[in-house]
């Protein structure tokens, strides 16, 4: 079996980590920033040096193509994203892009001619850190979001996506519209501790969790902290504390796959000697089963209604509903065969995070491949992987893509 050039892959990872590198060893490379432009240019230069082509669409998605024997056949796709979180890690997203580049370089080195073209993609604004929502450009490409909506998104300085694309020279002329894809694979770090804890080489990602986001507004009544007796208070903050514990209970009730999180809360008037009148908070649920998400949302409404006993009213607004994704069985089977042939260990997994391939899967056969990351840490400057993990993941990607690309 052929293997990737592991040292070349690691060197490219180290080089990209310098673009937007932080003193603590992480990276800040926000979508469509100057750092993103430099990284994109380097990726494009490497592709051209390898004899590949590079096209850019109207959302800035980069499509690097290695031509096969029959370009009329639907190509095989792989890739991820170059953008990062602020003060993020060196491997989230970029590992999948550079491992994909290494796959193409390895096929060149071995003079392997595939039946189908292979396309490596760098998706724009996967993280959603600068422009919300996340997975913006893959959503447009897959027909789930409109280009007009995406172009109009603004960062905190009121710069739109369209303006940022033009500023870095990456608004292509070709519309961001899906083309036929035979199979799509995204290689990614796990961003969780399961693979490392279980000493497993590869995660075969069978599904991605659905997500539901909510904003809750709890209204009590502002009152003097010294003169208002405890029994007559309508304290929005203590009601929020009760709600927070009930949200946690909902997550535990739907274990092991359920996730329930309150990540934001704002207290009004936020004064030390006033009984709080209002709390506005976020609630997020994740689960790979639609029925479980329905049950979690129902339980949230029950928890909110129960706060009336405290004299506090609670309104629930659903902001976002992202359905669970089941990945393609044929894609998973190719990867399982590659893992077995390479002699690696693996386990079936569910992704707790959203990824561009979730959108791709709505219009083409797709799946994901995970490798471990140290202590499961991600979206953090401390994010790390080991060179051996990097090599194994890239080898699995190579043989997954190659198997699909040789099918006629």
pTM: 0.88
Low-confidence stretches of the chain (pLDDT beneath 70): none
Q: What does each C-alpha distance from 79 to 102, 126, 271 come to in angstroms?
A: 11, 12, 49
First to last CA, the chain: 21
Q: How far apart are CA 306 and CA 242, in angstroms?
A: 10
Write the DSSP symbol of residue 57.
B
CATH 3.40.630.10 fits 6-209+324-405, yes or no: yes
Identify the pLDDT of residue 319. Answer: 87
Q: Which residue has the tokens 């073209």?
A: 117
**Full DSSP string of 25-49:** S-B---TTSHHHHHHHHHHHHHHHH
Please state, in angstroms and rounded to a whole number, the distance separating the CA atoms of residues 85 and 103: 26
pLDDT tens digits along 114-166: 999 999 999 999 999 999 889 999 999 999 999 999 999 999 999 999 999 99
- Give me 92's structure tokens: 């989230």
Alpha-carbon span 23 to 35, nearest angstrom: 15
Provide the pLDDT for residue 88. Answer: 98
What's the distance, CA 252 to chain centroid?
24
Smallest Cα–Cα separation from 74: which of 338, 350, 325, 360? 360
pLDDT for 322: 85
* Cα gap 380→383, rounded to integer Å: 6
Instruction: Tell me where in the chain the CATH 3.30.70.360 domain(s) lie.
Output: 210-322
Name the nearest CA neighbour of 313 among 277, 284, 285, 282.
277
Q: What's the CA gap between 97 and 43, in Å, rounded? A: 9
Check if CATH label 3.30.70.360 holds for domain 210-322.
yes
Helix, strand, coil abundance in the chain, percent, nearest 5: 35, 25, 40
pLDDT recorded at residue 320:
83
Where exactly does CATH 3.40.630.10 map onto the chain? 6-209+324-405
Q: What are the helix (H) ranges across 161-257?
A: 161-167, 194-197, 236-253
E strand or H helix that includes residue 320: strand 313-322
């Amino acid at each position: 079996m052929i293997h990737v050039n592991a040292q070349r892959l690691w060197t490219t990872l180290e080089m990209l980590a310098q673009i937007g590198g932080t003193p603590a060893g992480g990276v800040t490379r926000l979508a469509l920033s100057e750092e993103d432009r430099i990284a994109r240019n380097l990726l494009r230069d490497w592709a051209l040096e390898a004899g590949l082509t590079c096209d850019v669409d109207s959302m800035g998605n980069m499509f690097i193509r290695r031509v096969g024997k029959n370009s009329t056949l639907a190509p095989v796709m792989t890739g991820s994203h170059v953008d990062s979180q602020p003060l993020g890690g060196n491997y989230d997203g970029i590992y999948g892009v550079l491992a994909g580049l290494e796959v193409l370089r390895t096929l060149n080195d071995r003079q392997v001619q595939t039946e189908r073209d292979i396309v490596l993609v760098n998706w724009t604004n996967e993280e959603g850190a600068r422009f919300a929502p996340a997975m913006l450009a893959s959503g447009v490409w897959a027909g789930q979001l409109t280009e007009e909506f995406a172009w109009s998104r603004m960062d905190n300085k009121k710069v739109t996506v369209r303006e940022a694309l033009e500023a870095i020279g990456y608004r292509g002329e070709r519309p961001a519209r899906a083309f036929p894809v035979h199979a799509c694979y995204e290689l990614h770090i796990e961003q969780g501790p399961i693979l490392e804890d279980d000493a497993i080489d590869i995660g075969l990602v069978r599904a991605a969790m659905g997500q539901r986001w909510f904003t809750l507004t709890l209204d009590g009544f502002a009152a003097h902290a010294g003169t208002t007796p405890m029994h007559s208070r309508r304290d929005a903050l203590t009601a929020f504390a009760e709600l927070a514990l009930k949200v946690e209970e909902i997550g535990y009730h739907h274990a092991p796959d359920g996730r329930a999180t309150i990540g934001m809360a704002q207290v009004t008037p936020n004064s030390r000697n006033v009984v709080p009148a209002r709390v506005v908070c976020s609630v997020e649920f994740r689960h790979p089963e639609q029925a479980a998400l329905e049950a979690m949302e129902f339980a949230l409404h029950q928890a909110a209604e129960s706060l009336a006993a405290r004299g506090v009213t609670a309104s629930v607004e659903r902001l976002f509903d992202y359905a669970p994704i089941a990945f393609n069985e044929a894609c998973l089977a190719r990867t399982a065969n590659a893992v077995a042939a390479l002699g690696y260990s693996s386990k079936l997994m569910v992704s707790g995070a959203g990824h561009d391939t979730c959108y791709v899967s709505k219009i083409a056969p797709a799946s994901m491949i995970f490798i471990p990351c140290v202590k499961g840490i991600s979206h953090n400057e401390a994010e790390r992987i080991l060179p051996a993990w990097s090599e194994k993941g890239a080898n699995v990607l190579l043989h997954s893509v190659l198997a699909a690309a040789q099918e006629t």
